[in-house]
Amino acid sequence: MRVLTSTLLVCLAACSAGESSVRSDDTADGSPGADVTAPADGSAADATADVPVDPDVQVEPDTAVTEDTTEPPPSPLAEAILEAMEAENIPGVAVALVRGEEVLHLGGYGLADVDEQIAVTPDTAFILASVSKTVIPMAALLAVDDGLLDLDADINSILPFAIKAPGFDDAVITTRMLLTHTSGISDHWDKLAELYVDGDSEIALGAVLENLLAATGEYYDAEASFTGAAPGTAYEYSNIGSALAAYVVESATGVPFDVMCEERLFAPLGMSHTSWHLADLEGVPLALPYAYVDGAYETYGHYGFPDYPNGALRSSVSDLSRLLRMMIGKGVFEGTSVLPEWAVDEMLTDLVPELEPGQGLAWYRYDDGEDLYWGHEGGDDGTATTLFFRPSDGVGVIVLANIDAPETEESWALYTIESLLYEAESSL
């Protein structure tokens, strides 16, 4: 349910003019360079601290040390980001810029909660929408490495229920097809939209997938849930296909998908502000998702859905910078192997060039005319996200925003902010 909240026009004007850009020497990631724009109302830490005075030194009254209360101006990068946000009415943004193992910049701008005037920080968790999908092949390839899963096996040899593409009863659907969006499974949005709920969904992942995709399922609709093409012969982006890939991993390993991700990925990477479920994020600052309607912000509230692996991961840029650096490092993070190198290479391989050039395992590639980038972007109610890196130099950028993406994204502010960060890399 949407709840009308107050406008941010005054706040964003304050962000670009009267708010302080507070530089922290140490971030939650343990690396330098986190900017947090915070209201200049005394609620944020002062940019300067008291100067210590030696008690044994006599200071004449006219030379006494006084506290400098002058706030430093926002950096040019912060000003540019705030301008992009104001131009498109974005309440809050968090960003990360990395190069190899190094974090060059972490920043929080604007508000995570408009009514409560809670600022975004690098530790604020946003719902990631389809950037969530980048984690699914990691779990799948860990299962492959454990000898528990074959990406090219018939998923019906793994699942506790049968799924067949209508009209192609003899055709095999594989996990590789699910992860490259070539399985023939489509998104039944009339039903999926009904499954969004406030908070976490109580419907189990396997239950919703069986009801949608098994011929005996409660929500089964052959035309709505399948593309009509034989598996492996055509490309169609599929949220449900991605969620099904996660459930195949769960079925093959006998470990709930969310638990496996926590134990094998998030915990080893130190991602303490990350979870698939709201219930596991108690005490973690969260960004409320918003729409901008008639000059005011309306929040969708914190929502969930049962097919959670395709879009319900919540994480902060400080945490995601660890995930991205692990990928740039070929599976190694701070000296610890999280994924085998061959698994990273497999994710970042053009696997179906004849159907969708640049599609890897969930991750995909784009070419800006000068370089190649691998990653993913996402959008859902009140959230827009992007996570990409350049293999050529190991530079990566993450941008998270708590606003609906526009219908036309050619000049979308997230892309502007992304470009600003890539441009800033050489000077940081």
272 and 417 inside one domain: yes
Beta-sheet pairing, 34-38 with 102-113: parallel
Q: Which residues 6+ apart lie within 8 Å of 406 measured at CB?
A: 88, 412
Q: Cβ(125)–Cβ(132) under 8 Å?
A: no
198 and 280 inside one domain: no
CA distance 212 to 284: 33
| Higher local confidence (pLDDT), 392 or 1 | 392
Residues in the chain: 428
Q: Three-class SS of residue 255?
A: coil
Q: Cβ(275)–Cβ(257) under 8 Å?
A: no
Whose tokens are 């060059």? That residue is 104
235 and 274 inside one domain: no
Here the CATH number for the domain that contains residue 284 is 3.40.710.10
CA distance 5 to 118: 14
71 and 168 inside one domain: no
Whose tokens are 């343990």? That residue is 30
Strand ranges (DSSP E) for 152-205? 197-198
82 and 95 inside one domain: yes
Confidence of residue 72 (pLDDT cuts 50, 70, 90): confident
pLDDT in tens, 341-388: 999 999 999 999 999 999 999 999 999 999 999 999 999 999 999 999
CA distance 428 to 144: 39
pLDDT in tens, 116-143: 999 999 999 999 999 999 999 999 999 9
Q: Cβ(162)–Cβ(69) under 8 Å?
A: no
**Domain stop point among 186, 220, 254:** 254
Please name which of 324, 195, 184 lies closest in space to residue 244, comparing C-alpha atoms.
Answer: 184
CA distance 323 to 331: 9
Residue 196 structural domain: 137-254
88 and 107 inside one domain: yes
287 and 322 inside one domain: yes
CA distance 384 to 403: 6
CA distance 377 to 125: 16
Least-confidence region, from 13-27, 311-325, 354-368: 13-27
359 and 226 inside one domain: no
Q: Cβ(98)–Cβ(424) under 8 Å?
A: no
Domain count, the chain: 2
Strand ranges (DSSP E) for 196-341? 197-198, 290-293, 296-299, 303-304, 314-315, 332-333, 336-337
CA distance 386 to 379: 9
**Domain stop point among 254, 273, 298:** 254
CA distance 391 to 399: 18
250 and 264 inside one domain: no
| Higher local confidence (pLDDT), 266 or 31 | 266
Q: Where are the alpha helices (DSSP H) in 271-351?
A: 317-328, 341-347
318 and 295 inside one domain: yes
Please give the pLDDT value at position 418.
97
Confidence of residue 322 (pLDDT cuts 50, 70, 90): very high
335 and 423 inside one domain: yes
pTM: 0.85
280 and 415 inside one domain: yes
CA distance 366 to 354: 16
